[in-house]
């Protein structure tokens, strides 16, 4: 079945939607885990690192946590795939450097990039909204197996510049930042709580259900659903 939307912009979740959770967990997570100790002990004075450390201390209620304690917390969050903002900030720093030095190349499901190109060519703007930090998102789209895709993307949003992904206020913030009417925005995600929040903000929302992804069995509630981007037709404002 094909889902059809006349919208001005599509907003993309990454993990589970454009890209495999398995790749993130099996490739990116160990990469960051291996580098947290050095980051925390050698670069704690860098403003972004210092801010993330302060956020970890606040979230854990341990104001005096040292580098070892913070590393332990980060690794526990990694184990449970918790989307904690300071974890994502620190991962973003490590990953962006890994992508830049050629250690990492991102992953996109085979149906994704052709559709992103087609939607972009049809005049539909593309945005990213992921728990991964903006730095990580940029590196992900810059270093894809099909080369640099950032020219397709009009903006990047994360839990810092937009807010939590399961709150409608975050989607209202993105609509306002992009200048696109909520009813002209389509959000694609694998998580029902995120789809609920987008719908509450007046957006269209489609649940992307891919076999093998963690949310496949749970489903996407009463949201429209697609097994791949090939099942979604998007036309711009002239349609």
Residues that bind ligand L4RZE5RM in the complex, under the rule CB under 6 A = 13-16, 24, 83, 88, 91, 130-132, 136-137, 140, 165
Quick check: 213 binds Mg ion (CB under 5 A)? Answer: no
Confirm or reject binding of residue 16 to Mg ion (CB under 5 A).
yes
Residue number closest to ligand L4RZE5RM, CB atom: 132
To ligand L4RZE5RM, the closest distance from the beta carbon of 143 in angstroms equals 10
136 contact, one of Mg ion, ligand L4RZE5RM, none, CB 5-8 Å limit per kind:
ligand L4RZE5RM
Name which of 14 and 180 has its Cβ closer to ligand L4RZE5RM. 14
In the complex, least distance from residue 136 CB atom to Mg ion, rounded to whole angstroms: 13
Of 37, 88, 29, nearest to 66 (Cα)? Answer: 37
Whole-number CA gyration radius for the chain: 18
Could you tell me the two tokens for 113?
């990039």
List the structure tokens of 68: 């070892």
CA distance 12 to 198: 12
Residue at shortest CB range from Mg ion: 16
* Integer CA distances (angstroms), 10 to 25, 113, 181, 197, in order: 25, 13, 12, 16
**Which residue's CB is nearer to ligand L4RZE5RM, number 136 or number 205?**
136
Site for Mg ion contains 15 (CB under 5 A)? yes
28 DSSP assignment: I
In SS3 terms, 20-48 reads as CHHHHHHHHHHHHHCCHHHHHHHCCCCHH
What's the gap between Cα 34 and its chain centre? 22
Q: Which is nearer to Mg ion, 24 or 49 (CB)?
A: 24
What is the nearest approach in angstroms of ligand L4RZE5RM to the Cβ of residue 183?
A: 23
* Residues near Mg ion, by CB under 5 A: 13, 15-16, 190
């Amino acid at each position: 079945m094909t889902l059809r939307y006349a919208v001005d912009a599509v907003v993309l979740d990454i993990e589970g939607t454009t890209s495999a959770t398995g790749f993130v967990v099996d490739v990116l997570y160990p990469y960051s885990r291996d580098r947290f100790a050095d980051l925390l002990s050698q670069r704690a004075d860098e403003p972004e690192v210092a801010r993330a450390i302060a956020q970890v201390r606040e979230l854990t209620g341990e104001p005096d946590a040292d580098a070892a304690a913070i590393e332990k917390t980060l690794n526990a969050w990694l184990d449970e795939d918790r989307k904690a903002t300071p974890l994502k900030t620190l991962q973003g720093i490590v990953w962006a450097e890994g992508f830049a030095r050629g250690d990492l190349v991102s992953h996109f499901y085979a149906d994704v990039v052709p559709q992103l190109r087609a939607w972009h060519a049809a005049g539909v703007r593309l945005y990213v909204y992921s728990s991964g930090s903006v730095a990580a998102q940029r590196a992900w789209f810059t270093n894809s197996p099909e080369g640099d895709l950032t020219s397709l993307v009009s903006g990047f949003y994360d839990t810092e510049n937009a807010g939590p992904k399961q709150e409608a206020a975050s989607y209202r913030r993105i609509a306002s930042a992009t200048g696109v009417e909520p009813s002209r925005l389509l959000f694609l995600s694998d998580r029902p709580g995120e789809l609920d929040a987008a719908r509450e903000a007046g957006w269209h929302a489609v649940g992307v259900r891919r076999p093998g992804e963690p949310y496949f069995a749970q489903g996407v509630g009463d949201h429209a659903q697609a097994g791949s981007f090939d099942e979604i037709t998007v036309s711009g404002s002239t349609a």
